[in-house]
Amino acid sequence: MVRDHLAGLDGFVWSGLVECTLDEPPEPPDGFYLPLVCGTTAKITQGNFGDFSHQGTSAYAFDFSLGVGTPLVAIADGTVHYVYDKTKPGDPCYNGGDASCINKANLVTLLHGDGTTSLYAHLSEVQVGLGDFVPRGEAVGLSGSSGYSTGRHAHVARQEKCEWGTCQSIAVSFVDVPGDGVPKTGQSVTSMNCP
């Protein structure tokens, strides 16, 4: 029982939803890098404010043209915050589907030290588990076409922290993209995400 004599309050503290840890929170990222293995080149098939689907919550997302099974790596150190990995081979939404597959994309979100998350979607395979720490440049999964998808690619975005997979995207510039760090539709980029 907790008693606050000054405020005249009595009550109980229940710790059922509290977890104690001695772990230090991750440091804020010193920058964000392309979600590709060091040295990998890919074309941006849809950049920010794209014509097809990068509007509203996905306005600041990037689509990378990649063959199925290409590793996607963390854009900055993070902890796995959300995973959806239920769309398997043989599922009608595994190799791309219509709008009915909107919530069937295999995906991972990482929580970064600055409180933002990064999203990696349309995966063919998830390679991390909830709560795992993933250093920058380490794989989170393999590219694919799961969910509402018109073909093989990876959908990547930085987001406001959210409690589930997809939330409002926010602007991101990549350290390893020349100029302003923001790849444009049609541009080929080469990753320097070399841990």
Q: Is residue 66 part of a domain?
A: yes
Q: Is residue 15 part of a domain?
A: no
Q: Is residue 9 part of a domain?
A: no
Residue 28's pLDDT is 74
Output the domain CATH number for residue 88.
2.70.70.10
Residue 21's pLDDT is 57
Strands 9-11 and 125-126: unpaired
Strands 133-134 and 169-170: unpaired
Q: Is residue 184 part of a domain?
A: yes
Q: Is residue 17 part of a domain?
A: no
Per-residue exposure over 61-74, b if at least 16 CB sit within 10 Å of its own CB, e if not: bbbbbbebebbbbb
- When pLDDT is averaged across residues 168-182 and rounded to a whole number, the result is 95
43-85 pLDDT, tens per residue?
A: 999 888 877 777 788 899 999 999 999 999 999 999 999 999 9
Chain mean pLDDT for the chain = 88
Are 64 and 45 a contacting pair, CB within 8 Å?
yes
Is residue 166 pLDDT above 90, yes or no? no
Give the count of domains, the chain. Answer: 1
Q: Is residue 21 part of a domain?
A: no
Residue 177's pLDDT is 97
Is residue 27 pLDDT above 90, yes or no? no
Domain span at residue 161? 28-195
Residue 16's pLDDT is 52
SS3 24: coil
User: Which residues are paired to 119 by β-bridges?
Assistant: 109, 157
Q: Is residue 19 part of a domain?
A: no
Residue 8's pLDDT is 55
Q: Is residue 181 part of a domain?
A: yes
Q: Which of 21-25, 82-86, 185-189 has the lowest mean pLDDT?
A: 21-25
